[in-house]
């Protein structure tokens, strides 16, 4: 027979943990602002190495350096090898959110060890797991919260007997904190430093006070030795933090402060756990009242027990320092923002570690019950709002199945805060970047308004093009959200058709030719279609019956041309515009086709519209240079040329292969291995003289 007496706080913790993870799996989409962008960029990281994804490689470049904001992208990239995008996000969020209450329990267990009631305040980990910064989509910062508490808990637990094995684990946790977010890294380094200074500083002062003789200074110094050891093993952590700070100071000279009115409202509204509406604010006042009672109770017990100074007073000092930082810190510094919000999230949690847990059962159970009730109220409203917003996101992304490979899209809306369910989503905009899901279900799709690519603290950046918003790439689709019925889309209708429409969504697709322009093709004696191309300078001599293709011959629907851009910005010069594709003209001896060619270092894709069927493709390579060139070529993702060494001195090479076309186009992607050094024997660019496409079935 079931006995309620067998239940413990551990069972309640598991129940609450499972309960808090349920909304992630019950509802189709998680309503965060930036989260879908992280999923998209995780997919870019996963797919970028594939040369067939030429659109992605044309738009983005990877920022492979060690800096904060990496960890969530790595995790999402890894999860995308196993799960579809939305499920990968759910698995990631289950880990990121679930670890926060677990780490906070671990932290309080380390601080209060075997004290009775040590987990009375640990229930705060649940409401702070669902916080404003999470719903902003700051997934890296969300990860950093748990690493903060794991790091602090480990250090506190072993601070008096720190061994090499403990130090190794601490370094790993601090490194993970750094790779998650610099704010949490800076706060954990500051927090443990304050705690170390307080712990061993108070002991040294107490020892010197008790000595009261000439040896007091010797006793004082002797008791400071653990602090010296702490400083020594923390030197690498200080160095990393100082290096980041100096780099930021060099790049950005001033910050932006929101003002004291905003600070006051944010602090007393506990707005680090307010996100969709102000519903949580009065409930948060209940939390402040409970913590106020807990503070008075703790002070009363301290007076009653005549406990004037404790090691855990370090957490009160940390909470005070964090509060001062919250008030004085700028809201943004350079491109990084939400600084006050991040600091504020830790203030009450640090204060909780200072509060006395080993009190009489009645106040202990009363405070714990109030915190659990608060957690359930906070969670209940959050789950309710999830249930109302998720269907709207589902409507917004209902056209993702219509996106085709090797395309691009952008989005627009007059008001991203507008919601049918809530009227206005006040603090976050869960719709604006949810459109990133349009870029994750088809191969090689470019999200033209991918905000992360604008900042050097994300692993996916824009390529070195002059156009900051990638205007050089035509947007094949427009996702329009919450436009009024009267909107005629005058700027879109000449070039786009509406292909999907719901109550609040209109999905536009760029108009295309009804089919391939067959007048550009010739016929073989057998009556099959054939088309020939001669790669050359714009003013070069074209081989008979060939179409001239220069570096700037861009793709036109129904016809042919380069589907990767020619116009780059040279980062080594003052906004000098250069082409990733060049052309050269050699001596007349090799003939018209072999005399000239197009060459380049970057990947290039050539697209040809044609009827479905089986085609024989003959690619021609011939170089007048005195060095070899490596050439690789994909035809509709099929490798037809693999590490071909084009010989020097006008020795012609032809490669013939067949390709099945089922989607109305042939895309050939040409590329070469990345050679950092060009030698006289081997050049670091591909070369392409021309090709012929002949229908055989």
Q: What pLDDT was estimated at residue 158?
A: 95
How would you classify residue 565: left for phi > 0, otherwise alpha for psi between -120 and 50, otherwise beta? beta
Q: Left if phi > 0, otherwise alpha if psi is -120 to 50, otherwise beta: which for 203?
A: alpha
Q: Write the pLDDT tens digit of every residue in 534-558.
A: 999 987 789 999 999 999 999 999 9
Tokens representing 533 are 């191309």
Ramachandran class of 520: left when φ > 0, alpha when ψ lies in -120 to 50, beta otherwise? alpha
Q: Return the pLDDT at 468.
A: 46
* pLDDT value at residue 575: 39
Q: Hey, what are 475's tokens?
A: 């947007």
pLDDT at 185: 96
Q: Among 94-108, 552-566, 630-644, where is mean pLDDT lowest? A: 552-566
- The band of 681, judged by pLDDT with boundaries at 50, 70 and 90, is confident
Four-point Cα dihedral 345, 351, 352, 354, nearest 10: 150
Secondary element (H or E) of residue 173: helix 164-180
Strand, helix or coil at 573?
Answer: coil
Mean pLDDT of all residues in 263-273: 96
pLDDT band at residue 135 using 50, 70 and 90 as cut-offs: very high
Q: What is the pLDDT of residues 454-468, one digit of tens each?
A: 888 899 998 864 444
**What share of the chain in percent tops pLDDT 70?**
91
Residue 151 belongs to what H/E stretch? helix 139-158
Residues 6+ apart with CB under 8 A from 95: 75
Q: Do 456 and 387 meet the contact criterion of CB atoms below 8 Å apart?
A: no
Summarize the chain as % helix, strand, coil (round to 5). Answer: 45, 20, 35
Tell me what the pLDDT averaged over the chain comes to. Answer: 90
Residue 9 confidence (pLDDT) above 90:
no
Nearest to 396 by CA among 421, 424, 433, 427: 433
**Beta-bridge mates of residue 656:** 618
N- to C-terminal Cα distance for the chain? 75
User: Can you give 508-566 as a three-state secondary structure string?
Assistant: EEECCCCCCCHHHCEECCCCCEEEEEEECCCCCCCCCCCEEECCCCECCCCCEEECCCC
Q: Residue 571 — pLDDT band, cuts 50, 70, 90?
A: very low
**pLDDT tens-digit readout, 327-359:** 999 888 877 789 999 999 999 999 999 999 888
pLDDT digits (tens, 9 = 90+) for 525-535: 889 999 999 99
Residues 6 or more apart in contact with residue 70 via CB below 8 angstroms: 140, 179, 180, 459
Q: Looking at 212-257, list the stretches that DSSP marks H as alpha helix, in order from N- to C-terminal side.
A: 216-223, 225-251
CA distances from 207 to 158, 194, 227, 371 (A): 22, 20, 15, 39
Entry pTM: 0.92
pLDDT at 3: 55
Dihedral of alpha carbons 195, 182, 99, 383, sign: positive
Residue 250: per-residue pLDDT: 74
Q: Is the pLDDT of residue 474 over 90?
A: no
Say what the pLDDT of residue 211 is: 63
Question: What are the residues facing 658 on neighbouring strands?
Answer: 616
Q: β-strands 505-510, 496-501: how paired?
A: antiparallel
Res 566: pLDDT: 64
The pLDDT of 173-177, averaged and rounded, is 96
**Domains and their CATH numbers in the chain:** 19-388 (no CATH), 518-695 (2.60.120.430)
Percentage, residues of the chain above pLDDT 90 = 71
Run of H or E including 201? helix 182-211
Nearest to 197 by CA among 317, 349, 288: 317
Which residues does residue 408 pair with via DSSP β-bridges, in sequence order?
446
Q: Given a cut of 80, is residue 380 above it in pLDDT?
A: yes
Assess whether pLDDT exceeds 60 at residue 1: no
What confidence score (pLDDT) does residue 570 get? 45
For position 256, what pLDDT does the model report?
85
- Name residues whose C-beta falls within 8 Å of residue 333's C-beta, 6 or more positions apart in sequence: 248, 252, 254, 255, 256, 339
Q: pLDDT band for position 275 (50/70/90)?
A: very high
Block residue for tokens 């380069």 = 562
Q: What is the mean pLDDT of residues 370-399?
A: 96
pLDDT, tens digit (0-9, with 9 covering 90-100), for 209-259:
666 655 666 666 766 888 889 999 999 999 999 988 888 777 766 778 889
The torsion defined by the Cα of 222, 225, 228 and 229, in degrees rounded to 10, comes to: 170
* 416-468 pLDDT per residue, tens: 999 999 999 999 999 999 999 999 999 999 999 999 998 888 999 988 644 44
Answer yes or no: are the C-beta atoms of 620 and 593 closer than 8 Å.
yes
CA-CA distance, 125 to 286, in Å (whole number)? Answer: 16
């Amino acid at each position: 027979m079931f006995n309620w007496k067998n239940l413990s706080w551990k069972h309640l913790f598991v129940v609450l943990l499972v309960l808090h993870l349920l909304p992630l799996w019950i509802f189709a989409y998680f309503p965060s602002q930036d989260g879908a962008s992280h999923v998209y960029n995780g997919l870019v990281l996963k797919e970028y190495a594939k040369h067939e994804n030429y659109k992605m490689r044309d738009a983005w470049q990877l920022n492979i350096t060690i800096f904060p904001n990496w960890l969530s992208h790595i995790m999402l990239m890894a999860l995308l090898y196993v799960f579809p995008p939305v499920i990968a996000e759910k698995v990631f969020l289950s880990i990121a959110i679930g670890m926060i209450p677990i780490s906070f329990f671990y932290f309080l267990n380390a601080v209060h060890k075997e004290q009775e009631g040590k987990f009375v305040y640990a229930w705060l980990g649940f409401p702070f797991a669902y916080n404003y910064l999470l719903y902003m989509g700051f997934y890296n910062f969300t990860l950093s919260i748990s690493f903060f508490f794991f790091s602090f808990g480990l250090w506190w637990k072993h601070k008096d007997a720190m061994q090499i094995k403990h130090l190794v684990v601490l370094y790993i946790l601090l490194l993970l904190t750094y790779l998650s977010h610099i704010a949490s890294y800076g706060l954990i380094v500051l927090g443990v430093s304050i705690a170390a200074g307080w712990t061993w500083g108070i002991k040294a002062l107490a020892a010197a006070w008790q000595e009261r003789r000439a040896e007091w200074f010797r006793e004082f110094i002797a008791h400071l030795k653990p602090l010296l050891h702490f400083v020594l093993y923390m030197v690498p952590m200080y160095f990393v933090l100082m290096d980041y700070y100096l780099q930021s100071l060099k790049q950005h000279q001033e910050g932006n402060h929101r003002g004291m009115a905003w600070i006051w409202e944010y602090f007393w509204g506990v707005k680090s756990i307010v996100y969709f509406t102000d519903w949580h604010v009065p409930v948060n006042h209940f939390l402040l009242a409970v913590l106020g009672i807990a503070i008075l109770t703790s002070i009363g017990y301290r007076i009653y027990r005549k406990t004037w100074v404790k090691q855990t007073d370090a957490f009160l000092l940390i909470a005070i320092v964090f509060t001062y930082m919250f008030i004085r810190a700028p809201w943004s510094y350079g491109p990084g923002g939400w600084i006050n919000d991040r600091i504020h999230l830790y203030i009450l949690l640090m204060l909780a570690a200072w509060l006395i847990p080993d009190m009489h059962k009645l106040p202990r159970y009363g405070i714990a019950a109030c915190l659990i009730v608060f957690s359930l109220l906070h969670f209940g409203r959050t789950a309710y709002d999830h249930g109302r917003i998720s269907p709207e996101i589902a409507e917004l992304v209902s056209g993702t199945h219509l996106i085709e490979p090797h395309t691009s899209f952008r989005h627009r809306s007059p008001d991203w805060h507008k919601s049918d369910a809530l009227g206005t989503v006040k603090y976050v905009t869960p719709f604006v970047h949810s459109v990133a899901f349009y870029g994750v279900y088809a191969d090689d799709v470019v999200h033209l308004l991918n905000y992360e690519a604008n900042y050097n603290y994300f692993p996916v950046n824009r390529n070195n093009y002059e156009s900051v918003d990638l205007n050089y790439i035509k947007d094949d689709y427009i996702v329009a959200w919450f436009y009024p019925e009267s909107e005629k889309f005058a700027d879109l209708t000449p070039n786009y058709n509406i292909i999907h429409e719901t109550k609040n969504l209109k999905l536009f697709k760029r108009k295309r030719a009804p089919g391939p322009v067959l007048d550009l093709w010739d016929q073989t004696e057998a009556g099959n279609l054939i088309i020939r191309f001669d790669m050359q300078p714009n003013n070069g001599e074209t081989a008979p019956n060939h179409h001239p293709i220069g570096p700037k011959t861009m793709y036109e629907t129904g016809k042919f041309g380069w589907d990767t851009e020619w116009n780059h910005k040279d980062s080594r010069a003052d906004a000098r515009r250069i082409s990733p594709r060049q052309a050269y003209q050699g001596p007349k001896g090799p003939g018209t086709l072999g005399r000239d060619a197009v060459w380049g270092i970057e990947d290039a894709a050539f697209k040809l519209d044609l009827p479905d069927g089986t085609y024989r493709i003959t690619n021609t390579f011939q170089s007048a240079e005195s060095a070899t060139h490596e050439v690789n070529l994909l035809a509709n993702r099929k490798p037809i040329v693999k590490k071909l060494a084009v010989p020097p001195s006008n020795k012609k090479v032809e490669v013939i292969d067949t390709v099945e076309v089922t989607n109305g186009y042939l895309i050939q992607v040409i590329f070469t291995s990345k050679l950092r050094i060009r030698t006289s024997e081997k050049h670091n660019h591909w070369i392409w003289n021309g090709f012929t496409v002949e229908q055989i079935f």
